[in-house]
Amino acid sequence: MNCDAIREQLSAYLDGELEAEEAEQVREHLASCEACRKELASLEELTGVLRALPRHKAPGEIEREVVTYIERDLLLRAPTRSQGWAVVRKTLGMVTLAAASALIAVGVYVQFHQGERASLPEHGAREYFAGKGRDADDLGGSERFKKGADGRDVRRFALMDKTDSLGLKEGDTGLVQSHTEGTPRVAQTVPEGEIVPHAGEATVPGPAVAKALERPTPEIETVVAFDAEQSAAKLSGDTRVGGSQVSPAGPEVFEVVLAADDFESARNRVVAVAASLGVHPVATERSFEYAGKARLPVNGRTSQFWANSWRRDGTIYGEVTGQAGAGPGGPEESRLAAVLAVDEHKLPQLVARLVAQRSRFRGDGYAGDRLRRRDQSGEGEPATEVAHVKAMPSLRVEDRPPDAVEAKLAEAHRAEDRPTEPDESVRQQAEVTRDENLTRSGEREVAPRLSTVLPDGKEKADELATPKDEARQALAPIPPKPAVRDLKETFADEELKQQLQKRIQEVRLVYVRIYLTVPKPPARETAPAAEPPPATRD
Amino acid sequence: MASLEAQTEDLRCVAATRDGRPDAFAGIVGRYQDRIFNTIYRLLGDYQEAKDLTQQTFLKAYMSLARFRGNSSFYTWLYRIGVNAALDERKRRGRNPSFLTDSFALASAEDAGRIRRSSESDDPAEKVLSREREETVTRAIAGLDELHRSVLVLRDIEGMDYEEISEVLSCPRGTVKSRLYRARLALRDRLRDLMT
């Protein structure tokens, strides 16, 4: 072989990747050819240089973020694949806004859900089903579901905790539409009530709904079954507050109401602020596939309701929100902008950042923000969280003193960089908002000014409106959440390992619904619903 | 490169992850993140981008786990995802070539601190020298065309054998061999000043 042919082989020869026979030929040639030996030496030097390059370690947050994503994915994933019947479950009662009008918020989750029917509770008082048409047929033999456990028509959903349920009779339609293929199903019309249909198809409450809505609004004091002070303490980071009233198996739902000039841009900011904490929306207003809006008289006042649904991983979720006594002429309207699933330990930070962003949402010094907590504090009733959330054994919010395990974890956690490493999040955020100053200011000026609504409806105005230092102090005792990383590193001790695994499973997630209150010029009031939302979001 | 034991452990983690245990996937991430990150960093020369793409690689692997059939070893499958992600990113940047050099310079400056910290040497002059040297080599690698670069990084930096490289790049072993040869010649040309 000549030198050219040999040189082509030298590279593979160097790597020991030649067949024995070829290698032998090269060896023989090298023994007699000085030039080719030099060539080989030169290649060796080159590979030596490359091997000597320092190896870069992956930034620590990669693993954490990937695992967080996966946990969230598992949490949000639909339990089964096929499409089917919608289970509407009520999540909660009502809340107050301190100012002029009482605000009723009703949450209804709609979940297309099969396969777990057998595991649904049989007592029907809190379990509701919505849907009709083909879906009804899908029920097949599950007669008890069609009938509901108490034998009543299943097509109904609850309006308020411990109060009314709205009976939707055959031919009626709920505010929540069930649809399986992305197309809103047909709804019915009712004479009363002003309806702003969306996407060409109207969803209008039937007479039964309207009638139910006319029933007296229950006393707020009896409905809001949470301790506002405790709630506020929790929101401000003091987790030592004991005696959570939340039903043990249900995730807490918090609401944050922010004032905004422009809904769209404020929503983007909310998403960006959340992203800066590694919190990603379960849904945002942008992803709502269907939005119906109804205006109905309640107690002589006009109330508005919005129905939204969004799709995620093949599961459809829906929510109805309403605002009582905020009809035409009302100065503002609150609309659900995003639903976030947040690690409990991030909640105070999230709230603080959102509130710190207030001036970005609306002119400085505006004190109209409110934090509301929704919970599921029904007495003696099992939790009514969405079924697949129930599959996580751990959505438990309980307050207990830190034990040895936690202390150790906290130590391990402190040793690491904190979960909210800003650089990545700031970058993400910049993509959303093109405004990096947003979080930066949020991080610096953590000064929550929370107005808390007490059960008696009085506003505990700005008691938490603290100067910066106090705010930091309030935010200080956030216990670190056990991270999978920590778990791995602490795995030497078998007993500790088991304890930790158990603890890890207790993912403390809470839902946060972000409402944005925007000024409502009369001419614009139908505009939001008439505007077709993008079909999907990702 | 990966022992049979490591491969078995990978498959165990894959199975556990499919059963819905995210901590098992954390094992995979922990085992491979440095290698994947380093590979992507060497392919792109951009620290921040490498970080994002490494993360994306694992998320993509997680989401595609159902499609992993076990025909190749898990880690070459993972590498394939990572390398493809990096090459796609390069293509995207190719449409905007100035972006590459800019971010490259930026990355080098940013990384200076990290590299200096990780350097073993105590002699400050040597540190700077080795850092400059590294920068030169890194630039030279980044200047290769993508086919050459990927095969070179996988072999001379990641230490894979030809069989593994052919799995990662989905090309015949003979192609790996000839590409690597040309890649080394091309790189040597670019590093002529550096080498004695």
Question: Rounded CA gap, A192 and A209, in Å?
Answer: 11
User: Could you read off the pLDDT of A315-371 as tens digits, one per residue?
Assistant: 555 555 555 444 443 445 566 777 777 766 666 667 666 665 544 444 333 333 333
Q: How far A286 CA lies from chain B's nearest CA (Å)?
A: 24
Looking at residue A356, its pLDDT comes to: 57
Tokens, residue B82: 């990572």
| pLDDT (average), residues B72-83 | 89
Span A435-488, pLDDT tens digits: 333 333 333 322 222 323 333 333 333 333 333 444 444 443 333 443 333 334
Q: So what's the pLDDT on residue B183?
A: 95
A327, A254, A311: which is closest to A107 by C-alpha? A254
Smallest Cα distance from A96 to chain B, Å: 39
Q: Which of A51, A71, A424 is the closest to B22 by Cβ?
A: A71
The whole-angstrom separation of Cα A500 and Cα A405 is 7
| pLDDT for the residue numbered A488 | 40
Max intra-chain CA distance, chain A:
106
Strand pairing class (A86-92; A107-112): antiparallel
Look at residues B196, B90, B180 and name the one whose alpha carbon lies nearest to residue B143. B90
Position A509 confidence tier, pLDDT thresholds 50, 70, 90: low
Stretch (H or E) spanning A32: helix A20-32
DSSP string, A117-182: GGGS-S-GGGEEEE--THHHHHTTT-HHHHH-TTSS-SBEEE-STTS-EEE--TT---SSPP-SSS
Inspect the interface and report whether the beta carbons of A42 and B188 lie closer than 8 Å.
Answer: yes
Per domain, the residue ranges of chain A are 3-43, 64-530
In tens, the pLDDT along A129-146 reads 222 222 322 322 222 223
Biggest CA pair distance of chain B: 55
Q: Residue A493: what pLDDT?
A: 53
Determine the pLDDT at residue B176: 94
How far apart are the C-alpha atoms of A294 and A170, rounded to whole Å?
A: 20
Q: Which residue of B has its CA nearest to A39?
A: B185
Residue with tokens 């929370």: A450
Three-state secondary structure call for residue B10: helix
- pLDDT on residue B136: 85
Q: Does the complex come out with an ipTM higher than 0.85?
A: no
Distance from CA of B134 to the nearest CA of A (A): 6
Contact B37 A53 (CB under 8 A): no
Question: Which chain A residues contact residue B48 at CB under 8 A?
Answer: 427
Q: CA–CA separation, A140 vs A142, rounded Å?
A: 6
- Domain B32-190 - what CATH class? mainly alpha
Q: Measured between beta carbons, which residues in chain A are less than 8 angstroms from residue B37?
A: 56-59, 62
> A58 — contact with chain B (CB < 8 Å)?
yes
Lowest-pLDDT choice from A103-112, A196-205, A512-521: A103-112
Residues 6+ apart with CB under 8 A from B41: A56, B47, B50
**Phi, psi of A179, deg, nearest 5:** -150, 140
For testing contact with chain A, the best of B36, B38, B192 (most A CBs within 10 A): B38
Taking the CA of residue A282 and the nearest CA in chain B, the distance in Å comes to 18
What is the reported pLDDT for A511?
65
The span from the CA of B2 to the CA of B63, in Å, is: 23
- Going by pLDDT thresholds of 50, 70 and 90, the confidence category of residue A268 is confident
